[in-house]
Structure 1
Amino acid sequence: MDPRSEVLLRQADLFSGELLLAGLPADDLLGQLPNARGWSWHAGDHQQLQARFGDRCAFGVEPPSAPFEAAVLFLPKSRELTDYLLEALACKLAGRLLYLVGEKRAGIERAAKQLAPFGQARKLDSARHCQLWQVKVAHSPAPPDLERLAQRFSLPLIGGPLQVVSLPGVFSHGRLDRGTALLLEHLDDLPGGRMLDFGCGAGIVGSCLKRRYPESELILLDVDAFAVESSRLTLAANGLDASVIAGDGIDAAPRDCSAIVSNPPFHQGVHTHYEASESLLQRAASHLSPGGELRLVANAFLRYPPLIEASLGRCDTLQEADGFRIYSARRER
């Protein structure tokens, strides 16, 4: 059981009514709170919860339409995303209770300040290195417009500027990170056909691929609903047509890709995770057609070449700069 869930269950008498659990972990909390429903924006967590609890958990960037008497937000890493989520919940809870639970290392100490616009916040519990806060919503905000909260910026690229739409919580929110910038310099000579942007974020790499290879089928994949929506908005802002899907890791991707291009994630929340990236490297061959290429950028300290070579064979380093490396490997015919 996630320690944040354990803290909630210490106060289980508070959560007997119609409760919405926003950003909940994929544990047994819904099983312990039979009147609760879940809202997740992580495709992997949602898949696990849906398998166990059916339609009691919704997926997406907006709260589910079903009414609720109170809500608990599991504190995400991003402050901007936290602000949006609190407003999205508080606007439906006038005069009712909103809770915030999170780990101390995730910044729950700032909870009172972030809850202050809605009413007088108070700390209910502190255990398992977590805290639980509560506010009665005295000042209900207007429903937030997620698109208006997006950061929009333009990338000066060959062939014209690329308009990027970045939503709160998306990787490298509002800016181009150095790893992706380096990868954009190495998109030449990819085999045409079905291309996959794995871990698409705000859709920068995928949009550039579609521009450079307009005849290719382009698929963008991310585990995060806010990234998926960002990619859709970025594609639309540039008049580009591609498929954007939410899925947990490479197993959610189609087969027979001519190229998989990625700045693969290795962070999730306040904890470091390598599973998604390592699974991509280990199973890329099963998603590439013969002669298909895996091309990615990674921090130089990550020992990715042995994993790539075990799956695909020879791994070439196309460039090393600023602590990053560009790797390329092809599936043998």
Structure 2
Amino acid sequence: MDAKSEVLLRQYDYLSGRVLLINAPTDQLFAEFGESVQPFFWTWNFNDYHYFQNQTAPVHFGADFPEGEFDQAVIFVPKSKELLNYVLHNVAAHLQTGSSVFLVGEKKGGVERAAKQLQPYGKALKLDSARHCQLWQLTLDCSVEKKALADWAQRYTVATPKGDLQICALPGVFSQNRLDIGTAVFLPYLSQVPSGKIADFGCGAGIISAYLAKLNPDNRIFALDVDAFALASTQMTFEHNQLNPQQLEIKAVSGIEDAPLFLHAIVSNPPFHQGIQTDYDASEKLCKTARRHLKSGGELWIVANRFLNYPLLIEQSFGQCTVKADQQGFKVLFASTQKNVKEV
């Protein structure tokens, strides 16, 4: 079992009633609750959502706060400080004054820093410190007004050859405050992507999806991501730029295996975190299996850090991989399926 769950269970007697567990690890925690606790899970990770569903746990997937009433909440510290601010505000807006909110996280994951974010909402007390984790209890003593999801988005402008794009990025979404270097290197090459049915794998705030829609009104973009906040951000970016909503289809995915078939192109600035090997899995699978989602003559376009072995993986699947650019530590990679002469 995850160490954070173990620390929470050490103080199980503090839990009671209908408890909302937010960003919980995918372990056996659900099976440990007795009759005095009715757990309900909230996750924005589509893989975690499926895990809890398979456990027959009541679970909500999305960027918005779950419907219903809750007596308590347990927040497992997310990576993003801004995302924790969003979660705390929503918990305070939905739970009654006097309710207990628990914060649990690893020391190396910033739980001590996160505990300071509890201060505006009431008195916080450290309940436990074990397994390199900490558990804090907050007693809500204030009421805050609910805020629309769009009010939490950071907005910035990206200049493109087709005019400026206004980007909307919600808390926790990659490159929330400014254009990242990889996408900046990638954008000039997107005009070479064939028109038609295009998947943006790991769509993030929707920069690539929006630009592809702006390039050609006939493009149909499938914005794919595991993260609900990314999908909501892409939707907001399209709306903010007044792009044709019929060009966009938002789809939560576990990986590239959930992408549509017979695509004209797949484009991606794939997600990864240096030093955490498991986070490379989705990107490596994209390189290895994207071909089966492309029509004959379909194309794969990826921007990736120079040190990654993606060119080799792409070559093993497609037979070739062309480096279109090598700039500022990033490579733009291209591959194409073999055209079928019988195909019109």
Return the TM-score normalized by structure 2.
Answer: 0.93
CA–CA separation in structure 2 for the residues paired with 1:45 and 1:80? 21
CA–CA separation in structure 1 for the residues paired with 2:87 and 2:26? 19
Give 1:25's aligned residue. Answer: 25
Give 1:214's aligned residue. Answer: 217
Q: Is the 8 A contact 2:103 2:115 kept in 1?
A: no
- Higher mean alpha-carbon deviation, 72-81 vs 23-32, is at 23-32
Aligned residues: 332
Q: Is the 8 A contact 1:260 1:293 kept in 2?
A: yes
Give 1:160's aligned residue. Answer: 163
2:47 matched to 1:44? yes
2:123 matched to 1:123? no
Question: Match of 2:222, SS?
Answer: strand
**Structure 1 residue 294, shift from structure 2 partner:** 0.6
- Higher mean alpha-carbon deviation, 126-135 vs 271-280, is at 271-280
2:327 matched to 1:324? no
**Structure 1 residue 78, shift from structure 2 partner:** 0.7
Query: Where in structure 1 do 4 or more consecutive aligned residues deviate above 3 Å?
Result: 268-272
Give 1:87's aligned residue. Answer: 89
Counterparts of 1:180-199 in structure 2 under 5 Å?
A: 180-199=183-202
2:61 matched to 1:59? yes
CA–CA separation in structure 1 for the residues paired with 2:284 and 2:202? 13
- Higher mean alpha-carbon deviation, 159-168 vs 264-273, is at 264-273
CA–CA separation in structure 1 for the residues paired with 2:61 and 2:182? 29
Q: Is the 8 A contact 1:190 1:293 kept in 2?
A: yes
**Structure 1 residue 248, shift from structure 2 partner:** 1.3
Change (3 A) 1:271 1:310: closer
Q: Is the 8 A contact 1:15 1:33 kept in 2?
A: no
- Higher mean alpha-carbon deviation, 294-303 vs 268-277, is at 268-277
**Structure 1 residue 278, shift from structure 2 partner:** 0.7
Question: Match of 1:132, SS?
Answer: strand
Question: Match of 1:258, SS?
Answer: strand
Counterparts of 1:1-333 in structure 2 under 5 Å?
A: 1-33=1-33, 35-53=38-56, 56-93=58-95, 94-240=97-243, 241=245, 242-267=248-273, 273-333=279-339
CA–CA separation in structure 2 for the residues paired with 1:69 and 1:259? 48
CA–CA separation in structure 2 for the residues paired with 1:169 and 1:190? 29
Q: Is the 8 A contact 1:87 1:141 kept in 2?
A: yes
Q: Is the 8 A contact 2:81 2:114 kept in 1?
A: no
Consecutive unaligned residues of structure 2, counting only runs of 5 or more, are 340-344
Letter in 2 for 1:329: A
CA–CA separation in structure 2 for the residues paired with 1:269 and 1:125? 29
- Higher mean alpha-carbon deviation, 227-236 vs 31-40, is at 31-40
CA–CA separation in structure 2 for the residues paired with 1:14 and 1:73? 14
**Structure 1 residue 62, shift from structure 2 partner:** 1.7
Letter in 1 for 2:311: P
Consecutive unaligned residues of structure 1, counting only runs of 5 or more, are none
Change (3 A) 1:108 1:298: same
Return the TM-score normalized by structure 1.
Answer: 0.96
**Structure 1 residue 299, shift from structure 2 partner:** 0.3
Q: CA RMSD in A?
A: 1.6
Question: Match of 1:239, SS?
Answer: coil
Change (3 A) 1:269 1:318: closer
